[in-house]
Amino acid sequence: MSQNLDVRVAQGIARGVRERGIEAWRNLPYAEAPIGPLRFKAPRPPVPWAGVRDASEFGPVPWQSLQGHFVGASKKQTMSEDCLTLNVLRPAGSVGGGLPVMLFIHGGAYAVGSSAEYPRNGEALVRDGGIVYVSINYRLSALGYLDFTRFSTPERAFDSNLGLRDQVAALEWVRANIAAFGGDPNNVTVFGESAGGNAVTTLMATPAAHGLFAKAIAQSAPTNAIYPPEQTHRWADEFVAFLADRIEPGGVETTSVDDAGDLLARADASDLVEAAVSLTLLAPDRDPGTIALCPVIDGDFLPERPLKAFKHGRAARIPLIIGTNDREGSLFTGRLDILATTPPRIRAIFSRTKKKARKAIKAEYPGLPDKRPAADFAGDYAFWYPTVKVAERHSRYAPVHFYRFDIAPRLVRQLGFDATHGLELFALFDRMNGWFGRAMGALGGRRAFMRTGDRMRRHWIDFARSGQVAGWPEYDEETRATMIFDKTDRVENDPRSARRVAWQEFVPHV
């Protein structure tokens, strides 16, 4: 192992590895392990280590369920509450510094996933773009995205927005240490997909994160999945009931704040994440259109709804790429059905608006509530329309580039998914050479899909370098220029304008 892979960071010396033209450092702690009395507490600075730390392998992944709505971790991966680590990749043989930095936040409904879920993520960006790539773990499920502050007492405090605070702590670590890896701490682009996209837009509205990154990319973000305390406190009560019944059916009293706090403190992490599955199964029908594991508007760390911050220019005024895939909702069927896809859920959402607006929106989804139009309605409600609102509001204060990802391999189209939620990750991260990518391309369309990924990746790299993208006009409320990623990329002004206008009347509060 080459000595030049020893890098000194604030906590000590880390020894990386060289592989496939990439130099990698993995499992670097950016915060103290949130275990014991630090469970449900805001992250603290990492503890220094003695000697040289082996940074060649990924660390444990955050605790998550292996049988819930989503399945992220492999049974072979070690799960631990001691998971607040990140990974750094750079081009092999890098000399000097000043490289642009791209920090990726993984998705997974804030319930599953990790920085090791796809171990080779980022390598194509590093090789093609000469950038420094950072990927992070953060607390998930009940350990990171349920609000237990109502159970706080003078003796035991529960902090809010733990996963969001973890992401800020990771960005702070990058600001302090990334120059040691050749990265420019003043040129950090944060990007993420799905829940990771929600994290990006939420970080832009989080005062503690301002100044820690210079540009942002939000892919398929459910940007409005942020809830007030009156909602999150009710979910906390329901969660504790599920947890109590799981630990000792019929035998655990949780009627007081102290009882609930004791239960949360002593519960096994596995019981916490499995109880969260019960809650997330309940939420789509109890509260249609919501996702139970999400940030909370706590009035402090996250002072307001991000959409409100974007409206009034209080979000970080930095360049933004934002967009969605053509048919986001088609993925959410069967075990993954957490969106407003069923007739009762759709009726509940329709009850919140006026009859004229309901009629206009139904005209945009002929056949509703049949399966295909229901999936498109639900996907647009959760992902596309809130994304439009972020783009138009942020464009008043900073440059915005808006996109829609339309291409899909032939087999994916024949199965009825089309360009569904998460598909662009296979293009962007050059995943089509893996077994799943090759299976998707078995009936054709693989090469065209990969070429689109090459072009998309080049745009992301150019944006990370300079904040600009060639041939892609900025978005504004007059022209609404949108890059359509397809076999042949094109720019369209205000695609699906009639649908956008119908949504404006349907959910004017967004």
pLDDT digits (tens, 9 = 90+) for 175-234: 999 999 999 999 999 999 999 999 999 999 999 999 999 999 999 999 999 999 999 999
User: Judging by beta carbons within 10 Å of its beta carbon (0-12, 13-18, 19+), is residue 94 exposed, middle or buried?
Assistant: middle
Sheet with 481-485, strands from edge to edge, namely 17-19, 22-29, 85-91, 132-136, 99-105, 183-193, 215-219, 320-325, 400-405, 481-485, 490-493
If you average pLDDT over residues 397-418, what whole number do you get? Answer: 97
> Is pLDDT above 50 for 130?
yes
pLDDT digits (tens, 9 = 90+) for 19-68: 989 999 999 999 999 999 999 999 999 999 999 999 999 999 999 998 76
- The 3-class secondary structure across 202-250, one letter per residue, is HHHCCHHHCCCCCEEEEECCCCCCCECHHHHHHHHHHHHHHHHHHHCCC
Name all domains of the chain by residue range, CATH numbers in brackets: 319-506 (3.40.50.1820)
pLDDT digits (tens, 9 = 90+) for 68-101: 655 555 567 899 999 999 999 999 988 788 999 9
**Least confident piece of the model among 176-190, 330-344, 368-382:** 330-344
Q: Is 123 a catalytic residue?
A: no
pTM higher than 0.85 = yes
Identify the active-site residue in 394, 401, 421, 459: 421
- Give CA torsion, residues 377, 378, 379, 383, to 10 deg: 110
How does residue 249 score in pLDDT terms, banded at 50, 70 and 90?
confident
> Is pLDDT above 80 for 509?
no
Count of other CB atoms within 10 angstroms of residue 205: 25
Looking at residue 1, what is its pLDDT? 40
pLDDT digits (tens, 9 = 90+) for 263-318: 999 999 999 999 999 999 999 999 999 999 999 999 999 999 999 999 999 999 99
Looking at residue 2, what is its pLDDT? 45
Share of the chain above pLDDT 90, in %: 90
Looking at residue 286, what is its pLDDT? 93
Looking at residue 256, what is its pLDDT? 84
If you average pLDDT over residues 132-160, what whole number do you get? Answer: 97
> Is pLDDT above 80 for 349?
yes
Identify the active-site residue in 23, 81, 328, 392: 328
Q: Is 328 a catalytic residue?
A: yes
List Cβ neighbours of 399 (8 Å cut-off, separation of 6 or more).
319, 320, 467, 474
Q: Is 115 a catalytic residue?
A: no
Identify the active-site residue in 114, 115, 135, 194: 194
320 backbone dihedrals φ, ψ, rounded to 5°:
-140, 130
Share of the chain above pLDDT 70, in %: 96
If you average pLDDT over residues 95-116, what whole number do you get? Answer: 95
pLDDT digits (tens, 9 = 90+) for 464-505: 999 999 999 999 999 999 999 999 999 999 999 999 999 999
